[in-house]
Amino acid sequence: QVQLVESGGGLVHTGGSLTLSCAVSGRTDRRYTMAWFRQAPGAEREFVAAIAWHGLSAYYTDSVKGRFTCSRDNVDNTADLQMTNLEPEDTAIYYCAADWSPQYNGTRPMTIEDMDYWGKGTRVTVSS
């Protein structure tokens, strides 16, 4: 049974940084795309970033470009989302999700429907 577990959320001030982590278990095949989504209060879940299985390419939604960075460790089967210069608008529950379908090359956003498995989320709150 595949499980994704996020960690690293918390409360930070505007301009601060956090690193979210996602640990994947239950499947030995590392050739999955890892994506991060977020859902702010009263809003729909939205795509944030995705990284290809090899870690060489990633795609970011415009609002986080230059501030967020995806990385992954296929030995430990984990992925990180480094978030810097956080803004109150980044306040949300952040979810990691994995997709084992054919190759993703980091040139487009992922959709909710693309993803096979989801974590339960970790809350990020940015105070002004």
Residue 62, pLDDT above cutoff 80: yes
pLDDT above 90 (res 102): no
- Reference 54, options 111, 3, 106; nearest CA is 106
pLDDT of 92 above 90: yes
What local confidence, expressed as pLDDT, does residue 77 receive? 97
Q: Which pLDDT value is given to residue 103?
A: 82
What confidence tier does 101 reach under pLDDT thresholds 50, 70, 90?
A: confident
3-state secondary structure of 126: strand
User: pLDDT tens-digit profile of 65-88?
Assistant: 999 999 999 999 999 999 999 999
Q: Which amino acid is at 24?
A: V
